[in-house]
Amino acid sequence: MGVDAIATPPGAFVSGPVVLREAALFTDLYELTMAASYLREGLTGAATFSLFVRKLPPGRGFLVAAGLEDVLAYLRGFRFSEAAIDYLRDLGRFDAAFLESLRELRFTGDVRAVPEGTVVFADEPLLEVTAAIAEAQLVETAVMNACHFQTLLASKAARAVLAARRRRVVEFGLRRTPGVDAGLKAARSAYIAGATTSSNVLAGLAYGIPPVGTMAHSYVLAFRREIDAFRAFARAFPDATTLLIDTYDTLAAAHKAVAVAREMEAGGHRLAGVRLDSGDLLALSREVRAILDRAGLGDVRIFASGGLDEDEIDRLLEAGAPIDAFGVGTRMDVSADAPYLDMAYKLVRYADRDVLKTSVGKETWTGEKQVYRFRGPDGRFRGDLLALRDEPAPPGGAPLLVPVMASGALVARAPALDEIRARCAAELAALPDEVRRLRSPGSYAVRPSERLVARQRALRATIEATEVRPALEPAAAGAVAPQPGAAGPQPRPEWEP
């Protein structure tokens, strides 16, 4: 972290250069109403919440887990300041005992997680939080906020990196990322996934990702003539000149770039590259390559940008476009084809009892879990077993979830960003080819354990017997007749302030 440490107020969450004040209030109000009721009812047992993605987005074969570093920082600093408690008091909803309890509340629970950069699939926990239920509940929103976006971005960026077939991918999207935090995290997530670097200078300071950049169209426009702009840039950065050549006409500008390259050579310097940013990148890259080659500038690289994503990169390289590197921005940084994940943070166990919601279309697996991954003799992933945490480890299966926090304290060394990136690269290399495929990827085998299936089935039967049938049967014939009591006025629902 290259950002100077500054005094941060109690209750702030610090993530690189982004500071969120009163971070305990970065939550949905219902987390607080539930916590207040838990306190009132004496529900203080240990709860385990599991964070996972229910279903992969259409056309996606895998996910890359990211965001854990932020989660752990958030949990370690979790506390309600006096100002936060005052604000909650002013809402007029919470009783004094609850507000008082917030004053000393800290996150004192345990977290098991897959390391950032790990490839995961649907239903597999990215992390499990076990804590007194109020603690585990109150952090839900922030935990998911951190993991959802960063996992979304790392997963998307990995596709661009794979499409680029070892050519460089530069993250370029800062201007259209959703806000300042996303701007930083997009650079970090893309770097984890294998992007070479980023245009984002602050990400350079914060994460040590060396920033890159050349010129915009405005630069060319500010000069009387395009070639004047090229010459000026070469004067300023004679050993790092990449010329943007599509401001007026790409081919005309390529000829000007040749002329400037000549002038640079006369001064003992060489043009590094040209950038294409619009038009038919396949045709233009070929024509520009030919112009450069004819001029003896075979070493001058072609960098392409402008609305790129993994599909377009793949199409260009399939067609043999002579492009050496890609700038990928907006479509990657908002994950345009799949702008969110069906991610959930679900209570799976409370007070030594497995629990299960059976909402239509939203049923998920009960119980605390472990994921075991199996590899073939070639080191490639063969399949995963989604098991209960308390069942014996299967022979040959490597557990993915490891303890990272115990009683609110870190229990594992935080990996450096380059370690996370190296892990991701190894994971992507170990994916079966058909799962790694960009289009219509094959599905990866994630098998639930027999014990998990049996426990789920038993729990579902119990719910059917105790929660569903008894309630539906007496009412079937409209048995509950109107019996207006001596009630007060109908309260205005809270959503009508």
Stretch that binds a copy of itself, among 2-10, 113-121, 376-384, 429-437 (CB under 8 A): 2-10
Nearest to 55 by CA among 130, 135, 123: 123
Nearer to a copy of itself, 199 or 449 (CB): 199
Nearer to a copy of itself, 79 or 270 (CB): 270
Tokens of 497: 């302030």
Nearer to a copy of itself, 250 or 456 (CB): 250
* Angle between helix 250-266 and 281-294 (nearest 10): 30
Nearer to a copy of itself, 16 or 448 (CB): 16
Query: Distance (Å, rounded) from C-alpha 98 to C-alpha 80?
Result: 12
When binding is defined by CB under 8 A, the residue of 32, 114, 160, 417 that contacts a copy of itself is 32
Nearer to a copy of itself, 134 or 400 (CB): 134
Q: Collapsing DSSP states into helix, strand and coil, what is residue 98?
A: helix
Nearer to a copy of itself, 62 or 94 (CB): 94
Q: With binding defined as CB under 8 A, does residue 21 bind a copy of itself?
A: yes
Query: Distance (Å, rounded) from C-alpha 99 to C-alpha 40?
Result: 12
In the complex, minimum distance from the CB of residue 399 to a copy of itself, in angstroms, rounded to a whole number? 25
Q: With binding defined as CB under 8 A, does residue 291 bind a copy of itself?
A: yes
Nearer to a copy of itself, 61 or 173 (CB): 173
Size of the site for a copy of itself (CB under 8 A): 185
Nearest to 130 by CA among 67, 45, 46: 46
Tokens of 176: 């259209």
**Positions in 373-412 near a copy of itself (CB under 8 A):** none
By residue count, the chain amounts to 497
Nearer to a copy of itself, 259 or 411 (CB): 259
Nearest to 52 by CA among 158, 144, 132, 115: 144
Helix H or strand E encompassing 129:
strand 127-132
Stretch that binds a copy of itself, among 212-220, 381-389, 397-405, 444-452 (CB under 8 A): 212-220
- Cβ neighbour number for residue 209 with a 10 Å cutoff: 23
Helix H or strand E encompassing 244:
strand 242-244
In the complex, minimum distance from the CB of residue 453 to a copy of itself, in angstroms, rounded to a whole number? 20
Nearer to a copy of itself, 294 or 437 (CB): 294
* Angle between helix 417-430 and 179-192 (nearest 10): 60
Q: With binding defined as CB under 8 A, does residue 233 bind a copy of itself?
A: yes
Query: Distance (Å, rounded) from C-alpha 305 to C-alpha 173?
Result: 11
In the complex, minimum distance from the CB of residue 381 to a copy of itself, in angstroms, rounded to a whole number? 28
Q: With binding defined as CB under 8 A, does residue 255 bind a copy of itself?
A: yes
When binding is defined by CB under 8 A, the residue of 97, 259, 453, 461 that contacts a copy of itself is 259
- Whether 253 and 243 have beta carbons less than 8 Å apart is answered as yes
Q: With binding defined as CB under 8 A, does residue 99 bind a copy of itself?
A: no
Query: Distance (Å, rounded) from C-alpha 67 to C-alpha 131?
Result: 20
Tally the C-alpha atoms within 13 A of residue 70's C-alpha that lie toward its C-beta: 28
Q: With binding defined as CB under 8 A, does residue 84 bind a copy of itself?
A: yes
Exposure b/e, 316-330, CB count within 10 A at least 16 = b: bbeeebbbebbbbbb
**Positions in 42-81 near a copy of itself (CB under 8 A):** 43, 47, 49, 81
Nearer to a copy of itself, 63 or 435 (CB): 63
Q: With binding defined as CB under 8 A, does residue 100 bind a copy of itself?
A: no
**Positions in 107-166 near a copy of itself (CB under 8 A):** 133, 137, 140-141, 144-146, 148-149, 152
Residue with tokens 């075991």: 372
In the complex, minimum distance from the CB of residue 432 to a copy of itself, in angstroms, rounded to a whole number? 29
Nearest to 388 by CA among 451, 430, 456: 451
Query: Distance (Å, rounded) from C-alpha 417 to C-alpha 113?
Result: 17
- Whether 350 and 459 have beta carbons less than 8 Å apart is answered as no
When binding is defined by CB under 8 A, the residue of 113, 129, 160, 215 that contacts a copy of itself is 215
Query: Distance (Å, rounded) from C-alpha 181 to C-alpha 151?
Result: 14
When binding is defined by CB under 8 A, the residue of 161, 182, 405, 452 that contacts a copy of itself is 182
In the complex, minimum distance from the CB of residue 107 to a copy of itself, in angstroms, rounded to a whole number? 17
When binding is defined by CB under 8 A, the residue of 58, 91, 395, 439 that contacts a copy of itself is 91
- Whether 283 and 322 have beta carbons less than 8 Å apart is answered as no
Query: Distance (Å, rounded) from C-alpha 341 to C-alpha 60?
Result: 11
Supply the Cα-derived Rg of the chain in whole angstroms.
27
When binding is defined by CB under 8 A, the residue of 65, 120, 212, 321 that contacts a copy of itself is 212
Strands (DSSP E) found in 398-474:
398-399, 402-406, 409-410, 446-448
When binding is defined by CB under 8 A, the residue of 237, 286, 317, 430 that contacts a copy of itself is 237
Stretch that binds a copy of itself, among 113-121, 227-235, 380-388, 421-429 (CB under 8 A): 227-235
Stretch that binds a copy of itself, among 112-120, 389-397, 406-414, 462-470 (CB under 8 A): 462-470
Q: With binding defined as CB under 8 A, does residue 418 bind a copy of itself?
A: no
